[in-house]
Amino acid sequence: MRQGPDGLLTTIAGYVDASRRKSSAARPQQQSGDDRPNRLARIDYEHDAAGPHAMEPRVIFEGEAAPTRRRWPALGGYRPQPGDRVLMVPVGGRGYVVVGAVQGAAAAGWRGYVPVWETTSTQPSIGNGALVGRWVRHGTTVHFVAQLTAGSTTAYGTGSWRLSLPATKAEDGVTTPSPARALVAGGNYSGAGEIASGDGFVRFINLAGSTANVTNTVPAAWASGSILRVCGTYETSEGN
């Protein structure tokens, strides 16, 4: 049951109207659900679609950061999946029903983010260079790529470099490798960084031909046009 909000409302109009009339008659002193707007939300990324509460997910209402404590019933024609963007229709005094997905988690596709660039000593400045990133999330799995392109006014700071992730890594007790590549001073260097348990950065980026982490002078002197790329896949526990 994946259609636009208007189609979903048409499909379940009779069900919702009947539920609201019944609720209003039973509790005339309470505010009717008719006075509350429909809302959009995402199915909790931790939702177990095969578990005992498969048809009663927690949701993250748009504009909020955390999943609700309360579970919300879903109509029988829709089976909630983690990360689905769904239409929530008010029923009764304070309740909502999950009508269906207006956008599946897989359909959300890749989106952009701006990585934060930091060092362990004097902080850098991107100047007229560029920091760009792309990422996609399926359940608790994140795939990402981040790129730093130096410009003529970029200041490289001192100390080991790190680039931020689009979502914090889960506290899973595992350090995940992050492939890296740099185009510096005419050289093409491959290597990897690390994403530690519970961390929000790719750190300790080490490139072939060097025993030191990437800095303003490693693997060579950075200049306008130099590029550093990192990517990877990891588990997150963030709910937004």
Distances (CA, A) of 206 to 23, 171, 186, 210, 211: 63, 23, 18, 7, 7
Does the model's pTM come out above 0.85?
no
Are 96 and 72 in contact by the 8 Å Cβ rule? The answer is yes
CATH fold label, 5-107 = OB fold (Dihydrolipoamide Acetyltransferase, E2P) (2.40.50)
* Rounded Cα–Cα distance for residues 133 and 112 (Å): 6
Give the residue from 100, 97, 88, 90 showing the smallest Cα distance to 24. Answer: 90
Residue 4 has pLDDT above 70, yes or no: no
| Residue ranges of the chain assigned to CATH 2.40.50 | 5-107
Are 180 and 232 in contact by the 8 Å Cβ rule? The answer is no
Are 146 and 229 in contact by the 8 Å Cβ rule? The answer is yes
According to DSSP, residue 29 is labeled T
CATH architecture of 109-235: Sandwich (2.60)
Q: Which of 62-76, 104-118, 147-161 has the highest mean pLDDT?
A: 147-161
One-letter amino acid of 175: T
* Rounded Cα–Cα distance for residues 34 and 240 (Å): 28
pLDDT bucket at 105, cuts 50 / 70 / 90:
low
Residue 81: the pLDDT is 87
Compute the average pLDDT of residues 188-206: 96
| Residue ranges of the chain assigned to CATH 2.60.90 | 109-235
Extended beta strands in the chain, E state = 39-43, 59-61, 85-91, 95-103, 111-113, 117-119, 130-138, 141-149, 161-164, 176-184, 187-195, 201-207, 227-235
What is the DSSP track for 95-115? Answer: EEEEEEEEE-TGGG--EEE--
pLDDT digits (tens, 9 = 90+) for 111-139: 889 999 999 999 999 999 999 999 988 77
**Percent of the chain residues topping a pLDDT of 90:** 62
